[in-house]
């Protein structure tokens, strides 16, 4: 009964029937158990024909890895603006969200938002590689709430600890602010709008990332790690790069975390972070087509066993991971952040030295801004 009105609540089936988006109930094995009227309209088939059909028989995903990801019924999956093929109805550009049904092992709820119903397909859509993969909006909300609590607790703790320990609470509050900013940034990425860029000190971002990595492992930022050797080879003459300060820190954190984890299989784990000039590399920007030089290189190397050769061409694709507990979203996020800064990221394995390298190439702030001014004058 409704507490406010004293009337009976609508049945769940009637609520689902009133939703404008397609809703599909999947039983174990990804077979369709039930659909709402919007789903019948989307698939162009009645519920009686759809029930019992494997999802892959009526909805073809651009990458089999996404369908495989759905088989992990315990983990929510969300993908935005992917192009799928409907049997007998052609291509559609959709958002999909899949969530497990509570207390019912193997059962999932799939919701579909069909962009193609209101707008034509564009050349930029298509494939998981071009999809903006993100968690549901509610997940961002659920993350922000505890972050505020953590920040408040750190501020209270800072008033009661000794001065020598205050850098740790400062690190907590600043990292909470950075993560909250990144969450907002990721929400904005769903609109394919790149975050603003500005002149950044690459070495400050790198040292910030190193401090976060050490703090996450329970070590003070000023102490050296014990599980691995971290070597810093920075070129002090490097000028500022053009990028997102928080984005750069996140890129380096992800690359260092992966390198540290991979190096644990070596007899003497070693991770190297290096910066240098690497002139000659160019990248065509998508907005104007003007070549932009990327002379600054950030390299993260480890002496682990390397990535399986069969996976190396796919490591930047969503849902691809070599980790048992990984989500396969870390490196795609890194590539997205680097591309938003007009940069480039590459991976290579040097079998002779036994090292794995991830290289990030970035533009100079001064040079890029000067070229923008020149283009404005010419136009």
Question: Could you please report the per-residue DSSP string of 112-158?
Answer: EEEGGGTSPPPTT--SGGGSB----HHHHHHHHHHHHHHHHHHHHHH
Q: Where are the domains positioned within the chain?
A: 12-131, 135-191, 194-378
Cβ(262)–Cβ(305) below 8 Å? yes
CA–CA dist 40, 21 (Å, integer): 11
- 96 phi and psi, to 5 degrees? -125, 145
pLDDT of amino acid 201:
96
Cβ(275)–Cβ(202) below 8 Å? yes
In CATH, what class is 194-378?
alpha beta
**pTM to 2 decimal places:** 0.53
pLDDT of amino acid 6:
53
pLDDT of amino acid 378:
45
pLDDT of amino acid 187:
59
CA–CA dist 284, 292 (Å, integer): 6
pLDDT of amino acid 218:
66
Regions in the chain scoring below 50 on pLDDT: 1-5, 118-136, 189, 191, 224-225, 286, 373-379
Q: Could you tell me the CA-to-CA distances from 280 to 296, 343, 372 in Å, in that order? A: 10, 14, 20
pLDDT of amino acid 133:
44
pLDDT digits (tens, 9 = 90+) for 208-237: 999 988 887 766 555 544 578 999 999 999
CA–CA dist 189, 182 (Å, integer): 10
Q: Which residues pair with 344 in a beta bridge?
A: 361
Q: Could you tell me the CA-to-CA distances from 231 to 58, 126, 165, 274 in Å, in that order? A: 52, 41, 25, 8
Q: Which of 318, 328, 326, 322 is nearest to 128 (CA)?
A: 318
pLDDT of amino acid 288:
55
Look up the CATH architecture of domain 12-131.
Answer: 2-Layer Sandwich (3.30)
pLDDT of amino acid 77:
79
pLDDT of amino acid 1:
44
Q: Is 43 exposed, middle or buried (0-12, 13-18, 19+ CB in 10 A)?
A: buried
pLDDT digits (tens, 9 = 90+) for 248-299: 999 999 999 999 999 998 999 999 999 999 865 556 554 555 677 889 999 9
pLDDT of amino acid 141:
56
pLDDT of amino acid 142:
58
pLDDT of amino acid 97:
85
């Amino acid at each position: 009964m409704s507490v406010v009105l004293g009337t009976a609540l609508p049945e769940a089936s009637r609520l689902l029937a009133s939703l404008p988006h397609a809703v599909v109930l999947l039983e174990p094995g990804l077979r369709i158990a039930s659909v709402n009227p919007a789903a019948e309209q989307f698939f162009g088939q009645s519920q009686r024909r759809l029930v019992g059909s494997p999802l892959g028989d009526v909805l073809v995903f651009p990458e089999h890895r996404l369908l495989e990801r759905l088989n992990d019924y315990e983990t929510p999956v969300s993908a935005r603006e992917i192009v799928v093929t409907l049997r007998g109805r052609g291509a559609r550009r959709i958002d999909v969200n899949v969530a497990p049904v509570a207390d019912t092992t193997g059962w999932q709820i799939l919701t579909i938002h069909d962009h193609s119903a209101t707008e034509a397909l564009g050349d930029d859509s298509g494939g998981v590689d071009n999809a903006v993969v993100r968690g549901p909006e509610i997940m961002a909300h659920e993350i922000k709430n505890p972050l505020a609590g953590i920040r408040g607790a750190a501020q209270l703790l800072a008033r009661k600890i000794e001065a020598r320990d205050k850098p740790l609470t400062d690190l907590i509050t600043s990292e909470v602010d950075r993560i909250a900013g990144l969450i907002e940034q990721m929400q904005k990425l769903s609109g394919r709008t790149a975050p603003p860029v500005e002149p950044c000190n690459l070495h400050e971002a790198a040292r910030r990332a190193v401090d976060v990595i050490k703090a996450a492992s329970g070590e003070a930022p000023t102490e050296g790690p014990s599980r691995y050797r971290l070597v810093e080879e920075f070129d002090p003459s490097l000028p500022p790069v053009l990028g997102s300060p928080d984005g750069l820190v996140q890129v380096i954190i992800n690359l260092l975390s992966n390198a540290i984890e991979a190096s644990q299989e070596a007899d003497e784990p070693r991770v190297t972070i290096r910066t240098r000039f690497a002139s000659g590399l160019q990248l065509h920007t998508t907005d104007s087509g003007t070549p932009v030089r990327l002379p600054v290189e950030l390299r993260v190397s480890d002496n682990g066993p390397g990535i399986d050769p069969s996976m190396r061409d796919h490591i930047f694709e969503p849902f691809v991971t070599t980790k048992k507990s990984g989500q396969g979203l870390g490196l795609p996020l890194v590539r997205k952040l680097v591309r938003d800064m007009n940069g480039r990221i590459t991976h290579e394995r040097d079998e002779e030295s036994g090292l794995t390298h991830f290289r990030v190439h970035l533009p100079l702030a001064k040079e890029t801004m000067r070229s923008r001014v020149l283009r404005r004058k010419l136009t």
